[in-house]
Amino acid sequence: MLRQRVITALVLAGGFLGVLFGAPATVFLGLMALVVAYAAWEWSALAAIESGLGRGLYVLLAAGLMAALAAYFRFDKQSLIEPHISIFLVWAAGWWALALLWVQSYPASALLWGRSWIGALMGLMVLLPTWTAMAVLIHAPRGPWLVLGVVVLVALADIGAFFTGRAFGHHKLAVKVSPGKTWEGLGGGMAAITLAVLVFITVAAPAGQWWAWLLLVLITGLASVLGDLVESMVKRHRGVKDSGAILPGHGGILDRVDSLTAALPVFTLLYILLHPKLW
């Protein structure tokens, strides 16, 4: 199992890096749209859409909305200063604030979001801002590096939380949603990304702007934990361990990108607000 997980991770990482740095932005976003569309297929099952036709229509809806967002926003190098994009991301951040309340009050909150149509709407609120955030970042100066930075940040937070939680974890973070997560693990994850950003600040960031990078990274790290918890909550409600089985040793697409679904929109919104102070 471990060997399978490692091989899958290496293949995914190599393919992602190759497209991120070797393909035009439009090709990268097109391929990411396919990933998001497949994630929508997995989410449709979590939303209790039973029929193949219904799940297929849900995927088409997600794909159509991504196309509509691309046509409306016309992503380009000016996206960072477009107010309508910022407003969209503010709404996305508001959704994640609501999701936090649902996680905190689970299982009682399932009375609000447990219906199939609300679960389906919830999936769109999770997935569409993720793709929009990638579209904004990839067109920004140093765009591929920004996208990679968020991915690495989320991975470091996850690794730090895993090892710290296993070694020191005693106080449960959200026992009714994800019993394995602890406050100690959360602290370890935040410590890992804090150390990483301090190294980055020392090496690359202009003097006097360390606070903006630190704020950006810490809030994004916390958001990544929320993204993980939301998918865990929905899977627990549906009584499944994984969102799918397409990735050998890893489960489904959603199981690998759940943290990014919150981290990317939050990072992008904060980057838009703070980027004059970052460079």
pLDDT band at 210 (very low <50, low <70, confident <90, very high): confident
> 59-110 pLDDT, tens per residue?
999 999 999 999 999 999 999 889 999 999 999 999 999 999 999 999 999 9
Least confident of 62-76, 206-220, 227-241: 206-220
Q: Where are the beta strands (DSSP E) in 155-242?
A: 172-174, 178-182
The pLDDT of residue 275 is 81
Residue pair 259/227 in contact by the 8 Å Cβ criterion? yes
Helices 116-139 and 52-73: angle between axes, nearest 10 degrees:
40
Instruction: Examine the pLDDT at 179 and tell me if it is beyond 80.
Output: yes
Instruction: Examine the pLDDT at 2 and tell me if it is beyond 60.
Output: no
Instruction: Examine the pLDDT at 192 and tell me if it is beyond 60.
Output: yes
Residue pair 44/53 in contact by the 8 Å Cβ criterion? no
Instruction: Examine the pLDDT at 37 and tell me if it is beyond 70.
Output: yes
Task: Give the C-alpha separation, 269 to 275, whole Å.
Answer: 10
| C-alpha of 36 from chain center | 11
* Bridge partner residues of 182 (DSSP): 172
What amino acid occupies position 17? L
The pLDDT of residue 277 is 67
Instruction: Examine the pLDDT at 137 and tell me if it is beyond 60.
Output: yes
Question: For residue 264, what are the contacts with CB-CB under 8 A and spacing of at least 6?
Answer: 129, 130, 133, 134, 137, 150
Instruction: Examine the pLDDT at 3 and tell me if it is beyond 90.
Output: no
The percentage of residues in the chain with a pLDDT greater than 90, rounded to a whole number, is 80
pTM: 0.94
- pLDDT, mean over the chain: 92
Mean pLDDT, residues 241-262: 88
Instruction: Examine the pLDDT at 18 and tell me if it is beyond 70.
Output: yes
